[in-house]
Amino acid sequence: MLDINNLSLSYGTQKVLKNLTISLQKGEIGCILGPSGCGKTTLLRAIAGFKSVQVGSISVNDIVVSDAAYKMPVAKRKIGVVFQDFALFPHMNVLKNVAYGLSKLSKSEALKLAQEAIELVGLNDAKSKYPHELSGGQQQRVAIARAIAPKPDLLLLDEPFSSLDPDLRERLSSEIRSIIKQQNITALLITHDQTEAFAMADKIGVLHHQQCRQWGTAYDLYHEPATEFIADFVGEGVFIPVQVVAYENDKESKIEASDEKLLWLETQLGRFLLPQEYIDNAMFKVGDTAKMLVRPDDLRHQDESVLKAKVVGRSFRGAYILYRLSLKEGEPLLCLAPSHHDHKIGESFGIHLEVEHVICFPN
Amino acid sequence: MQVGVNRLIKNAFKGSAFTIYSVLAGLLLGLPLFVIFFSFFSWDSAIWQHLAATVLPKYISNSLLLALGVGLGATILGTCLAWLIVNYNFYGRRLIQWMVLLPLAMPAYIIAYTYTGLLDFAGPLQTFIRDTFDLGAQDYWFPEVRSLSGAIILMSLVLYPYVYILARTAFSEQSQKYREVSELAGVSPLKHFFKVALPLARPAIMTGAALAMMEALADFGTVEYFGVSTFTTGIYRTWFGMGDIKAASQLSGFLCLFVFILIMVEKMSRRDSQNYSSRQGKSAQAKQVKGINGALIFVLCSLPVAFGFIIPFVQLATWAFSFSDLSNLADYPEYAMNSAMLASIGAIVVVAMALLFSYAKRLHPSKTVSGFIQLVSLGYALPGTVIAIGVLVPLGWLDIKLNVLTNVWFNFQPGLVFSGTVFALIFAYAIRFMSVALNNTEAGIQRIKPSMDEASKVLGDSPSQRLLRIHIPLLKASLLSATLLVFVDILKELPATLVLRPFNFNTLAVKAFELASDERLIDAALPSITIVLVGILPVIILTKTLDGIERKYA
């Protein structure tokens, strides 16, 4: 549905985006996640047609809308945009705002489509109100209704929830997601807020240094991050130092010493087998130092463990408490423990590291 | 040159129809400027020798003295008023704040003949002096109103608001901390004013003074009535008296030299004042002054407005409603209608053109469009007489060619369809008042968020639909105030109207001036007071805008 192929964008001589390739199927919601100033708004403007493309191409519905030689006019693209500041027309009421993009249709048809869109976002009672009479959340709904009323092929959302308070943000994002899903609209959202990305998107791309290093599901991004930046940017976690050592048969491990190439990762928190794909890529050899990603949920609270850590910080999160723990040496670790394990700062408790996906980066 | 022209054409057509409009309209409005400019280069030494031997020295000295005198007078009045009003809180301050701008509603030529009526030999004041002290005509000395110094004083009285407005903003933006620093250092308020406050406000004051001086150079009605020979009266006489358009346009070109110096001063001061503005921190707090001192400041502040507006206004009202006879009321509706019609058409045309310029710049913010916008905003600095000559030369040429052509082809002569009709007037107004309208449309359009345009664009609007559906509704307030300002300016405009009006076509301003010139001061009062009353409307708007600015920094 949306295919972006090897896209590069620049402002004057300054490159803002390099070799971006992503695609979305019909009905999928994609998200470009990145810190502010990483070029994600530029990407959105290029897809909408406000900005021309230097290298690569953008296709919607298998039709090229932008490449180095051609730029389809904005109005012809059948793309809806929800702007960061909503950009509602202050001199028009809700109905007129939503019907704005339908002026080429007959009056009755336009009215019907506008009504439908307003109903969809649940603003039937506010139809004749003006933007300044609406709350932030309502304005957001009007902006969505206006963007989807002309039944666009693709919906773009520019930091759609950034101006709302966090509570409303979460409620509205899941609601908007269900509307988009229900209408089977293909949508691309850009944001710097990962909870928003996780709540809304089927596929997420993280932009860093003008490049998108990974395009995948929220699960992939969190548990199998492709780069150190993504590992750090998405979710919480710390890196612990590891030493790569040769495999030797030991009693604890149940693996047979048949494979010569196996490697151990030696850490303060125990030994872990280096996953096969790292060995296949020949990324590490014996004697290397590296760092391993430890998510707060990988570190378990375990009273019987011999490995004790001291609490240096805690933040209560309802069902869980996020502890900052310090071992004898090295950076503090993060541990997400059920909140009935209530420890004060200065106390120690036993921990146990259980990693499902070992993620390792060279130093 | 060829490359430049090619690029111009290429740029023009790369943009939309709006860019093409702004290039064509810019060229059209720029035409009279070019005519004057180039006529100065087609130097005719015979004309100049004659002028230099007869009138030129007088023109130069009078124009310069007038401009400098008015600049000085307006600066002193405007700066002192602004300083007192910003820094002292006294009883009646709000009233003064509003009234202080009223002289803007009083055109210089109207105040000139009102004071002449008040102060000349047969006027009430001299009669009173003679009666009280039982003096004869030769027994005492009384200053002559109808003189260069009279013109300087009267014009300063109506032009000081230019300095006042800018100085007031500059003073009220000055941080309270500056005053505290001076107080801690034991510097007296007077010394603080000269050492800190005045130097900081200097660029703003200079800008205002340059504007007042431009108005003084542009003035025609006052100096003509007072019999002071300046460039504007000279241009008028050369054209009307001798029919010598070539000499008139060469004189215009010469006058433009002075004007361009003032434009440079103004632009540079504006740039400086941006560097000097200190918007951080709390702005200066007005000091409470009570009792005698408060009353003294009140009286001091009300003097300029008393002499610049109240006294002449009361005199005009007395003349208009008590003394004028009914017979000359008969023509009043006719020239009031003419004025209203001319001002309405002019205001709508000028504001519509300004809107299109601003919109073209928003669509394609190219150097070409911005350049033309700057060119067409120059007109505010040019005297009406100069613009009139600049309009007359090309339109007169066009009319002659047209008549030759139609005579050859159809054996028919349509007459002066361009130069002898309302068209020429509207053309001249468009040049003179475009910047007034542009100030409003530019500021208004910048307040519309760019995302509005993008939203309209993704929803399928063409540029012209966007203008109609988004920009015009959102700009309603700016367009309205621009229309009102241009309307009033046209209503007051005298010299260009006098030169370009169709035969036997009278407006309020023209009639007021003609009646006054015929020494029928009492009959001139009715059209004059009409102009003044309508002129109060924009003063009200201005007061509100200024209060808004001040509240922002409070």
Q: How many residues in chain A?
A: 363
Test A87 with B455 for CB contact under 8 angstroms: yes
pLDDT of A266 reads 81
Over 50: is that where the pLDDT of A75 sits? yes
Among chain B residues, CA nearest to A50: B454
B chain contacts of residue A48, beta-carbon cutoff 8 Å: 454, 458
* Best CA proximity match to B160, nearest among B230, B88, B82: B82
B chain contacts of residue A74, beta-carbon cutoff 8 Å: 457-458
- Closest CA of chain A from B451, distance in Å: 6
Predicted confidence (pLDDT) per residue in A15-48, tens digit: 888 888 999 999 999 999 888 777 888 899 899 9
Q: What is the mean pLDDT of residues A143-169?
A: 88
Please report the ipTM that was assigned to this predicted complex: 0.75
Test B449 with A87 for CB contact under 8 angstroms: yes
Domains in chain B with CATH codes: 1-42+332-505 (1.10.3720.10), 64-318 (1.10.3720.10)
pLDDT of B481 reads 87
Could you tell me the two tokens for A109? 């048809």
pLDDT of B155 reads 95
pLDDT of B1 reads 46
Interface test with A, best of B451, B453, B459 (most A CBs within 10 A): B459
Mean pLDDT of chain A: 86
pLDDT of B63 reads 94
Residue B55, classified by CB atoms within 10 Å of its CB into exposed (0-12), middle (13-18) or buried (19+), is middle
pLDDT above 70 covers a percentage of chain A that reads 96
The answer for residues whose C-beta is within 8 angstroms of residue A100's C-beta and 6 or more apart is A89, A92, A146, B455, B456, B459, B469
**How many Å apart are CA B43 and CA B357, to the nearest integer?**
34
Test B458 with A84 for CB contact under 8 angstroms: no
The residue type at B437: A
**What backbone torsions phi and psi does residue B466 show, to the nearest 5 degrees?**
-65, -40
A chain contacts of residue B461, beta-carbon cutoff 8 Å: 75, 103
Predicted confidence (pLDDT) per residue in B380-399, tens digit: 888 999 999 999 889 988 88
Predicted confidence (pLDDT) per residue in B460-509, tens digit: 888 889 999 999 999 988 898 899 989 999 999 999 999 899 988 999 99
* Best CA proximity match to B82, nearest among B165, B199, B179: B165
Question: Do strands A308-317 and A348-353 pair parallel, antiparallel, or not at all (unpaired)?
Answer: antiparallel
Q: What is the enclosing helix (H) or strand (E) of A12? A: none
* Best CA proximity match to A207, nearest among A67, A42, A29, A55: A42
Confidence band of B111 (pLDDT split at 50, 70, 90):
very high
With left for phi above 0 and alpha for psi between -120 and 50, is residue B393 left, alpha or beta? alpha
pLDDT of B533 reads 92
**How many Å apart are CA B99 and CA B85, to the nearest integer?**
12
Test B457 with A50 for CB contact under 8 angstroms: yes
Over 50: is that where the pLDDT of A222 sits? yes
Q: What is the mean pLDDT of residues A285-313?
A: 84
Over 70: is that where the pLDDT of A250 sits? no
**How many Å apart are CA A76 and CA A8, to the nearest integer?**
23
**How many Å apart are CA B54 and CA B379, to the nearest integer?**
30
pLDDT of B47 reads 77
| A361: contact with B, CB 8 A cutoff | no
**How many Å apart are CA B439 and CA B208, to the nearest integer?**
16
pLDDT of A163 reads 79
pLDDT above 70 covers a percentage of chain B that reads 94
**What backbone torsions phi and psi does residue A17 show, to the nearest 5 degrees?**
-150, 135
* Cβ-contact A263, A274 below 8 angstroms: yes
* Cβ-contact B405, B63 below 8 angstroms: no
Confidence band of B550 (pLDDT split at 50, 70, 90):
low
Least-confidence region, from A147-161, A175-189, A241-255: A241-255
* Best CA proximity match to B155, nearest among B228, B219, B87: B219
- Which one is predicted more confidently, B280 or A138? A138
Mean pLDDT of chain B: 86
| A48: contact with B, CB 8 A cutoff | yes
Domains in chain A with CATH codes: 2-233 (3.40.50.300), 238-362 (no CATH)
The residue type at B267: K
Coil/strand/helix, residue B243: coil
pLDDT of B223 reads 93
B chain contacts of residue A83, beta-carbon cutoff 8 Å: 451, 454-455
How many contacts (CB atoms, under 8 Å) link A and B?
54
| A210: contact with B, CB 8 A cutoff | no
The answer for residues whose C-beta is within 8 angstroms of residue B440's C-beta and 6 or more apart is B351, B354, B478, B479, B481, B482, B485
**What backbone torsions phi and psi does residue A210 show, to the nearest 5 degrees?**
65, 10
**How many Å apart are CA B176 and CA B172, to the nearest integer?**
9
| B459: contact with A, CB 8 A cutoff | yes
Test A75 with B465 for CB contact under 8 angstroms: no
* Cβ-contact B105, B532 below 8 angstroms: yes
Residue A232, classified by CB atoms within 10 Å of its CB into exposed (0-12), middle (13-18) or buried (19+), is middle
Interface list for A 127-186 with B (CB within 8 A): 146-147, 150
pLDDT of B228 reads 92
Q: What is the mean pLDDT of residues B417-435?
A: 91
The answer for residues whose C-beta is within 8 angstroms of residue B280's C-beta and 6 or more apart is B175
**How many Å apart are CA B267 and CA A135, to the nearest integer?**
45
Q: What is the enclosing helix (H) or strand (E) of A59? A: strand A55-60
Over 50: is that where the pLDDT of B349 sits? yes
CA max distance for chain A: 80
The answer for residues whose C-beta is within 8 angstroms of residue A158's C-beta and 6 or more apart is A41, A44, A81, A82, A83, A84, A190
Least-confidence region, from A310-319, A338-347, B266-275: B266-275
Could you tell me the two tokens for A278? 């790292």
Interface list for B 414-453 with A (CB within 8 A): 449, 451-452
Residue A303, classified by CB atoms within 10 Å of its CB into exposed (0-12), middle (13-18) or buried (19+), is exposed
Test B451 with A91 for CB contact under 8 angstroms: no
| B465: contact with A, CB 8 A cutoff | yes
> What are residue B90's DSSP bridge partners?
none
* Cβ-contact B449, A85 below 8 angstroms: yes
- Which one is predicted more confidently, A71 or B347? B347
**How many Å apart are CA B79 and CA B203, to the nearest integer?**
12
Over 60: is that where the pLDDT of B515 sits? yes
Test B458 with A85 for CB contact under 8 angstroms: no
Coil/strand/helix, residue B142: coil
Closest residue to A48, CB basis, from B456, B458, B465: B458
Confidence band of B328 (pLDDT split at 50, 70, 90):
low
Test B454 with A83 for CB contact under 8 angstroms: yes
Over 80: is that where the pLDDT of B3 sits? no
Confidence band of B421 (pLDDT split at 50, 70, 90):
confident
Q: What is the enclosing helix (H) or strand (E) of B483? A: helix B476-492
